[in-house]
Amino acid sequence: MSFYVYILACSDESYYTGKTRDLERRISDHQEGVGSDYTRRRRPVKCVWSDVFPDDAQAFEVERQIKGWSHARKEALIRGDFDLIHKLARSKEKRNREDGSKRVKF
């Protein structure tokens, strides 16, 4: 059975990322205010990106990864700008290395 990972654009310009087996039903649930407190308070919502995965484990992994991304990186994914996605990832990795070098290690 296939699973979908999706991104919704909310009325407050934030993004919501989720996963489901039935994409149409789940988006309808979000529009009706069912199942997610986050989107219930930010309706209407619009599905701006989705992809299909062969199993729940892969979909879960991708969903968690995207949830950790910045707003800019999610927008790059929505636009299909994979070069920018990688550039933003490298920028974050560089910032993390710089922050880590300033910390005292025990």
CA pair distance 86, 102, nearest whole angstrom: 25
- pLDDT at residue 95 in the model: 67
Of 73, 104, 75, 71, give the one whose Cα is nearest residue 91: 73
- Stated pTM of the model: 0.86
Q: What is the tens place of the pLDDT at every residue in 70-88?
A: 999 999 999 999 999 999 9
pLDDT digits (tens, 9 = 90+) for 14-25: 999 999 999 999
- Tell me the residue length of the chain: 106
Q: Which helix (H) or strand (E) holds 83?
A: helix 82-102
In degrees and rounded to multiples of 5, residue 69 shows phi and psi of -80, 155
